[in-house]
Structure 1
Amino acid sequence: MKEAPDYYDYWPYENRPSIRWPGGARLAFWVAPNIEYYELDPPKNPQRAAWPHPTPAVPGYSIRDYGNRVGHHRQMALLDKYGIKGSVSLSVALCDHHPEIIAMCRDRGWEIFSHGIYNTRYTYGLSQDQERSMIRDSMESIHRHTGQKCAGYLAPALSHSEHTLDLFAEVGTELFGDDAGIYTCDLFHDDQPTPIRLRSGKRFVSVPYSLEMNDTIVYAVNKVEPRHYLTMLKNNFDRLYAEGAESGTVMCIPTHNYQVSCPHRIKAFEEALEYITGHRDVWVTTGREIAEYYLQHCYDAAVADIATKQGGRTA
């Protein structure tokens, strides 16, 4: 029985090689809007029910439809105001169901990365060939609709398998070369990017994507009020910004347009963005840019340090 994932070795936070972000920034800040598509009556998966009540799941479907009808407009306007390009965690079926949203993202120069096809279809129970096919479909669709070579991956509804990262990196290379399939958001183990070991030996990185700051976890799971979410976001930023004076950190706010963009919640999100972008030495960026910069400037030193300190396998 495995005691830990095979993707990385234990590597304590202190005394790592120092990260210096572009322009000497202390902190790399990115926003990851999850723009998703949920099916009203999806195929059944024996390992996980898509809805907590019998289908047709009109209440659950309709609030998520609210996000695609109303919420994304609010969030896009807000991110535009603060000069933030979203890194969209996309349910790729949205390309067919709502191509107008994809066009709005493309026109803004937002990054698009894969969050599977539907957020009601899971990785659980898939063979490697089936998961590979799903990943390939999503990457090809993103390229067809946006021209982008998909760099990042977040498994649909966080239904990660033990082969997901290997498959994503391999399909990226097969389709587009080594500049596609280069980072994951499916690991939540650090506040800095970290090298990830794959069976192919491809250079690959985990980019921090916070479940703690994720608006669905905050609002739907932990039942936090908007004013307290604002406090959480500020406190999270303050700590990472302070630590970033020694070595660069990453802060991600994962959002959902049917959560953060509700009228009574959007103000708290806006105040958080104003606070964060009002600080000097913050690199407002995208997931792809963080991964590419780390792979070019930090990856080799990190791999060498891990091997030296832990006697671990190199990535």
Structure 2
Amino acid sequence: MQEDPGFYDYWPYRDRPKIEWPNGARVAFWVAPNIEFYELDPPNNPFRTPWPQASPAVLGYSTRDYGNRVGHMRQMELLDKYGIRGSISLSTALCDHHPEIIELCKERDWEFFSHGIYNTRYTYGMTEQQERDMIRDSMETIHRHTGQTCAGYLAPALSHSERTLDLFAEVGTELFGDDGGFYTCDLFHDDQPTPIRLRSDKRFVSIPYSLEMNDTIAYVVNKIEPRRYGQQIKENFDRLYQEGATSGTIMCVPTHNYQVSFPHRMSAFEDALEYITGHDDVWVTTGREIAEYFLEHYYDSTLADIADKTEASS
């Protein structure tokens, strides 16, 4: 039987201490555009095949290329319209392949966090040193091209190991001290931030990144139509907004510029953004800002509450 990884304790959603977001907001809302680079003929990984068809995978590759050529511009302009700064889940090879995209995002003060180097190279099968080197490369690349100290991590193609969070925090500390490597999007277990237990004892937090709201999950896995996806985003927000009256919640919409940005899908997405940002008591923010706020104001009290509840139930 596989053991629990031990990153966090069980902490029931009910009767938690109240979180109050800035200006009394009920919901901290952030959009995470995955801006990725896929290789036409990536190195073989025995644990996972990058493309479902034989090489050269022109179909899959060119669809992703559409995202970086067309879809990114379309989505960026839409987020501009509603005053949303993206938190980019970045395949850092994009810094070399498409530096013009990086510059456009820098102009808008978007956040850059690491999504590995290529989205066709996975953590599966790596040694600890290989994974550490990959994480370091991605964080150094972000800093070199943007000046930002990388705060967050989402493993490439969600291919993390049991060491990923420890390594990301450790490399972040080595490179940037407390300003680097302090939140993850790789855990999908809650609608509020969660302190994460690491071998380094670094103050580290999991920030909700919803697979249910992820456009690839919606369109490719669940195979729903654009209108229904837009409605799901609004319904998800409505529930979190309702619960946020008691204690602040987080809503993330992860997007891909080769999914949500096709012409026939954009109007439903825009309708959902207009609906959410039309509420005054919503904090439209970034993943980094949420993590920083929680670490400063609620991290210690949350740990104390978890310890009290754990002791009471034992």
Check whether TM > 0.5.
Answer: yes
- Offset, 1:179: 1.5
Corresponding residue of 1:302: 302
Offset from partner CA, 1:229-268 (integer Å, 9 cap, x none): 0110010000000000000000000000000000000111
Report the TM-score when normalising by structure 1. 0.98
1:133 aligns with 2:133: yes
For 1:72-221, list aligned pairs within 5 A. 72-221=72-221
Q: Which runs of 5+ in 2 are unaligned?
A: none
Report the TM-score when normalising by structure 2. 0.98
Offset from partner CA, 1:256-305 (integer Å, 9 cap, x none): 00000000001111000000000121000000000000000010010001
3-state SS of 1:261 partner: coil
1:247 aligns with 2:232: no
Task: State, as a whole percentage, how many aligned pairs show the same letter.
Answer: 77
Corresponding residue of 1:18: 18
Q: How many residues of Structure 1 are paired with residues of Structure 2 in the alignment? A: 312
Cα root mean square deviation, aligned? 0.8
- Offset, 1:311: 2.8
Letter in 1 for 2:182: I
Offset from partner CA, 1:38-80 (integer Å, 9 cap, x none): 0000000000000011111000000000000000000000000
Return the alpha-carbon distance in structure 2 between the equivalents of residues 145 and 245 of structure 1.
40
Offset from partner CA, 1:6-53 (integer Å, 9 cap, x none): 100110001111100001100000000000000000000000000011
Letter in 2 for 1:243: E
- Offset, 1:4: 2.4
Corresponding residue of 1:237: 237
Return the alpha-carbon distance in structure 2 between the equivalents of residues 3 and 141 of structure 1.
35
3-state SS of 2:32 partner: strand
Letter in 1 for 2:71: G
Offset from partner CA, 1:77-103 (integer Å, 9 cap, x none): 000000000000000000000000000
Return the alpha-carbon distance in structure 2 between the equivalents of residues 293 and 5 of structure 1.
26
- Offset, 1:2: 3.1
- Offset, 1:206: 0.2
4+ long deviations beyond 6 Å: none
Return the alpha-carbon distance in structure 1 between the equivalents of residues 219 and 5 of structure 2.
29
Corresponding residue of 1:35: 35
3-state SS of 2:306 partner: helix
